[in-house]
Amino acid sequence: MGVIRLLLAVLLPGYCTAISLTAQTAGRLEGHVYLREKSQPLGGAAVLIVELSQQTVSAEDGSYSIENVPPGIYQVIAHVNSVITEQAQAIQITAGETTSIDFMLDLQALRHEITVTAEGKQLTAFESFQSVDSLDSFDLAESADVSLGETLANRVGSGIAKRSFGPGSSRPIIRGFDGDRVLVMEDGIRVGSLASQSGDHGEPLNMAQVDRLEVVKGPATLLYGSNAMGGTINAVSRHHSVHTHAHDGLRASASTTAGSAASLGAANTGFEYGLKNWMVWGSAGGVRSGDYDTPIGTIFNSRARQLNGSFGLGFYGDRHFFSTEVEVDDGTNGVPFAQDFEGEEDVQRIFLNSLRRSYNANWGMRNLTNKAIDNFTVKLRYVDWTHQELEQLDSGEEEVGTAFSQGQFIYRAVFEQKAKGPWTGRFGVWGLDKAYDVTGAEALSPAVDQTAFAAFALEELGFEKFKLQGGLRLETNRYEPLQSANFASFDPRRFTGLSASGGLHADVWQNGAVVASFSHSYRAPALEELYNFGPHVGNLAFEIGDPLLKAETGNGLDLSLRHDEAKVRGELNFFYYGFDNFVFPFATGEIDDGLRVVEFTQRNARFLGGEAAAHFELHPDLWLDLGLDYVNAKETDQNTYLPRIPPLRASVGIDWHLGDLSIKPSVILADRQDRTFTGETDTPGYALLDLKASYTFAKSTNLAHQFSVNVFNIGDALYRNHSSFIKDLAPEIGRGVKFTYVVRVF
């Protein structure tokens, strides 16, 4: 509580000053929402004034109105769900007058990227202080991939690559950051898996059951956690996990996918049903892939399987809302070549079984009469995670090599301040209580209890031509290793530090903006960096942690140039991060148990690079898409390049719309990566030719069909991913095709 009082003492003087700016006559906003394909009114669409967090829902005739809107210039967003393209427009409200604006929504168009993750509220990516890359359910259906990392890997211009030990364990890398520095969340709260610790662990997310996927690049430490230094990935499972309003009737979807080169198959279904203020929802399905094919042969034991199910119930009133949900995720993936490093001749293959049970509860209030707080939300999640590394013997029997278990209770409460003139903001608290245990002959660490707590605030002053943003996060983490006969006795460790940020968003030309931000980040060492000791096939290393590691601190600069108009859209980002006590696995040059010995050590380091993405209208139905990204990362004490950093990449693509048909050919180019870490080999450059196409049409006002085909690596190129743990043993997948059909009731 002392932390909260400190934050309020810093913020309230300016906040109270801003209150005096609100003595103005309010205006009114009204209009209609239509569905373009059917030229009919669209009921049930949410209309949101971003800066004020004021929202309403359109009536059956498409009409809407929002009363008591203070004068000013605002961004207004109309949306239904991921089936229909959202639309954002800038409007000016005049005191004592009514402003009318209509929205024409589409089933398929070049979309404005709407983010709910970057700043904890819904706004356009153009208005965000951080760079955001997002995919909606249409994009995800076109990709139809088996894991999170595979889905995001080839979006050149985003700064996102992948690390992997095969397709089923693929996990994103953002701007060269991996592992504990990339936070993966589901519905705004961390997933609770072990995927950050090991290259052979994947995230338990089924991409076919995700409504929207958002990637926020740069340090997102203030709102979500001090370990999100590289970026944050948020999988939004349902429309109403973010937009807390009910709808009447049924919304549902069903999909199926089949593909070659890895025998891909998937089937998924989900529904939401609303009755007045109550809603019930559920989902079920799965995805599987076999051993994948390359131009030089099939990679044995690269298969994967994921089964997922969920069920939930919620109430969404005018003032109160709450929901509860249960999720179960059951996955299996092979670990290619792992049996070759075990040193046991009777081990035929090694694979992983994981099971996640997640119990979620959300509660909140809105439109409060309190003069300072407009609304608040509390999110609770308990995750029971079990994970077994299984060895299949020549006899056909299976033995458990190592077993992991992890119970996590996570909570997060956010209070949205009532807008007072140019002043808006939010503050809150976050906490974690985790019990981690590992058993078996190859246990890497002792059992550890971890507790964490944070208080944070993010405040903003918005004016007509520019906005200022600043924030603080104070976080403490405590590790308490438990006594174990197989490990030395370790003393508890506590880390407490402050993260901060400041930013400027300025409209410096018509439809263009400059965004500049400075961030200071504080990260406690991860559990595996402190306590691991032993052979870790999942990282192809004999790992030696250091229980005396210090906290890692960094200072970063981000600069973004953005342009968004009818015929040209683009973003150019530059970043530089400098770190003291940067933790990384240093290769000693020694070999133990057939694995290279790495010691988690600390040195100063720096990351610099950038991304560029541009979209040009060549014709109303034809767009040119260009992408480029680059990162250069070194530890500066000995001027050594850091491991598994992605190469320079570029892409050229076409987005061609012929009525309901969309055709997207693209070429991806990767440069040779010869800036390598000790013991790393160079990775040759490559060129890939891909083609995505989809046909989307509405049979009625509430039924949509999507047929998609994804032809990848058309030239059957032999190429390797520099960030893969097995890139010297196995190339990436060869030529193949995937077909997906989705039907949606909206």
Query: What pLDDT is recorded for position 378?
Result: 96
Q: Which of 160-174, 209-223, 473-487 has the lowest mean pLDDT?
A: 209-223
Average pLDDT over residues 60-69: 88
Average pLDDT over residues 692-700: 83
Query: What pLDDT is recorded for position 704?
Result: 85
Return mean pLDDT, the chain. Answer: 88
- Highest-pLDDT range among 122-126, 127-131, 280-284: 280-284
Q: Does residue 441 carry a pLDDT above 80? A: no
**Bridge partners of 324?**
313, 361
Q: Which of 70-79, 209-218, 443-452, 656-665 has the lowest mean pLDDT?
A: 70-79
Query: What pLDDT is recorded for position 82?
Result: 61
Cα–Cα distance, 63 to 47 (Å, whole number): 10
Structural domains for the chain: 4-105 (2.60.40.1120), 114-745 (2.40.170.20)
Q: Does residue 104 carry a pLDDT above 90? A: no
Q: Which of 144-153, 188-197, 343-352, 540-549 has the lowest mean pLDDT?
A: 343-352
What pTM value is reported for the model?
A: 0.89
Q: Name the DSSP class of 221.
A: H
Q: Which residues of 81-97 are buried (b: 16+ CB within 10 A; e: fewer)?
A: bbbbbbbbeebebeeee
In sequence order, what DSSP letters do the residues of 334-357 get, joined into one string? E-TTGGGGT--TTEEEEEEEEEEE
Query: What pLDDT is recorded for position 109?
Result: 52
Percent of the chain with pLDDT over 90: 56
Query: What pLDDT is recorded for position 93?
Result: 87
In terms of Cβ atoms closer than 10 Å to its own Cβ (0-12, 13-18, 19+), residue 10 is: middle
- Highest-pLDDT range among 16-20, 485-489, 568-572: 568-572
Which alpha helices (DSSP H) does 559-628 contain, by range? Answer: none
Query: What pLDDT is recorded for position 268?
Result: 96
Query: What pLDDT is recorded for position 141?
Result: 86
Chain-centre distance for alpha carbon 657: 28
Assigned token pair, 686: 């490559």
The kind and range of the H/E element at 137 are helix 137-143
| Short-list 717, 713, 723, 718, CA closest to 676 | 723
Q: Does residue 574 carry a pLDDT above 90? A: yes
**pLDDT class of 220 with cuts at 50, 70, 90:** low
Q: Which of 41-45, 257-261, 676-680 has the lowest mean pLDDT?
A: 41-45
Q: Does residue 4 carry a pLDDT above 50? A: no
Q: What share of the chain is helix, strand, coil (3-state, %, to 5)?
A: 10, 60, 35
pLDDT digits (tens, 9 = 90+) for 610-627: 999 999 999 989 999 999
Query: What pLDDT is recorded for position 108?
Result: 58
Average pLDDT over residues 498-513: 93
Q: Does residue 121 carry a pLDDT above 90? A: no
pLDDT digits (tens, 9 = 90+) for 237-248: 887 777 777 778
pLDDT digits (tens, 9 = 90+) for 585-604: 988 888 887 888 999 999 99
Cα–Cα distance, 241 to 185 (Å, whole number): 13
Query: What pLDDT is recorded for position 301?
Result: 94
